[in-house]
């Protein structure tokens, strides 16, 4: 489990202390590399849960720039149903209630969400890349994450021509791979409460068929 986050500035400061590079040209690139590494690690830890309202015009609205993963979409407090086409769906795939409300559908195009209604307001609940007050990415306050990010940055620096007297690109790539998996495993390990909730969901005799209407509460 991940409980806290810290600014990625801590990683950059540590690299200045450990590597003592001769210039700061790599710092701007490190912001992009940290984002890449977090996506490679892949587990949804350290991301910020956000909710925002979007205005729909001509059946579409632009997705937020900090979007990592979409959790749910709603209109007027009612969840929308995902379909491959918001304006052309197969009734057999929806309940009778939802067949009466075709506006309660949405689909996704690159950079846009396509709604089943021409104009109005949507509420998006999603996971976002958190940033500190200076715009630096926030990262999980976890030793495996920190080591993974540090080795990924070193790996990219070596790829770009940086020279280190003690190790090469192959060594850094191996270390990055090791700590990437370690970070995934440590973040995925549940707390006692989360393990109990997971067990209850799997062992209940009657499955919860209303998860979408409840915005998937209790599933993560």
The Cα 176–Cα 40 span in angstroms is: 11
Q: Beta strand pairing status for 112-115 and 120-128?
A: unpaired
In sequence order, what are the residues at sequence separation of 6 or more whose Cβ sits closer than 8 angstroms to the Cβ of residue 205?
Answer: none
Sign of CA dihedral 152, 181, 43, 143: negative
The Cα 20–Cα 11 span in angstroms is: 13
The Cα 124–Cα 122 span in angstroms is: 6
The Cα 209–Cα 220 span in angstroms is: 16
Residue with tokens 């990592």: 68
DSSP 101: -
> Can you give the C-alpha Rg of the chain in angstroms?
22
Do the beta carbons of residue 83 and residue 89 sit within 8 Å?
Answer: yes
In sequence order, what are the residues at sequence separation of 6 or more whose Cβ sits closer than 8 angstroms to the Cβ of residue 125?
Answer: 49, 50, 51, 70, 71, 72, 73, 74, 215
Q: In order along the chain (220 residues), what is the average pLDDT of each group of 10 residues?
A: 84 91 86 89 75 93 89 87 61 45 78 90 89 85 94 94 90 96 85 64 65 60
pLDDT confidence of residue 47: 77
The Cα 31–Cα 3 span in angstroms is: 22
pLDDT confidence of residue 85: 57
Q: Which two tokens stand for residue 184?
A: 């995934």
Do the beta carbons of residue 14 and residue 150 sit within 8 Å?
Answer: yes
Residue 189: its H or E element? none
pLDDT confidence of residue 117: 87
77: left (phi over 0), alpha (psi -120 to 50) or beta: left
Q: Which two tokens stand for residue 73?
A: 């979409």
CA-wise closest residue to 115 among 101, 94, 100: 101
What's the whole-model pTM score? 0.64
In sequence order, what are the residues at sequence separation of 6 or more whose Cβ sits closer than 8 angstroms to the Cβ of residue 160?
Answer: 26, 29
């Amino acid at each position: 489990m991940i409980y806290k986050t810290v600014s990625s500035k801590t990683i950059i400061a540590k690299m200045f202390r450990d590597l003592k590079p001769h210039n700061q040209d790599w710092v701007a690139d490190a912001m992009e590399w940290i984002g890449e590494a977090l996506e490679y690690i892949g587990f949804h830890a350290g991301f910020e849960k956000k909710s925002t309202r979007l205005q729909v015009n001509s059946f579409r609205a632009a997705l937020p720039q900090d979007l990592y993963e979409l959790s749910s979409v709603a209109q007027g407090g009612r969840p929308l149903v995902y379909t491959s086409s918001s304006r052309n769906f197969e009734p057999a795939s929806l309940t009778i209630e939802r067949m009466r409300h075709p506006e309660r559908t949405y689909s996704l195009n690159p950079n846009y969400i396509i709604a089943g209604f021409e104009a109005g307001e949507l509420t998006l609940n999603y996971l976002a890349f958190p940033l500190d007050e200076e715009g630096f990415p926030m990262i999980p306050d976890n030793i495996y994450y920190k080591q993974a990010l540090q080795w990924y940055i070193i790996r990219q620096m070596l790829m770009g021509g940086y020279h280190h007297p003690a190790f090469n690109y192959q060594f850094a790539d191996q270390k990055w791979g090791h700590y990437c998996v370690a970070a995934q495993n440590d973040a995925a390990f549940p707390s006692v409460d989360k393990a109990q909730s997971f067990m209850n969901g799997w062992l209940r005799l009657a499955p919860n068929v209303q998860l979408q209407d409840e915005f998937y509460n209790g599933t993560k």
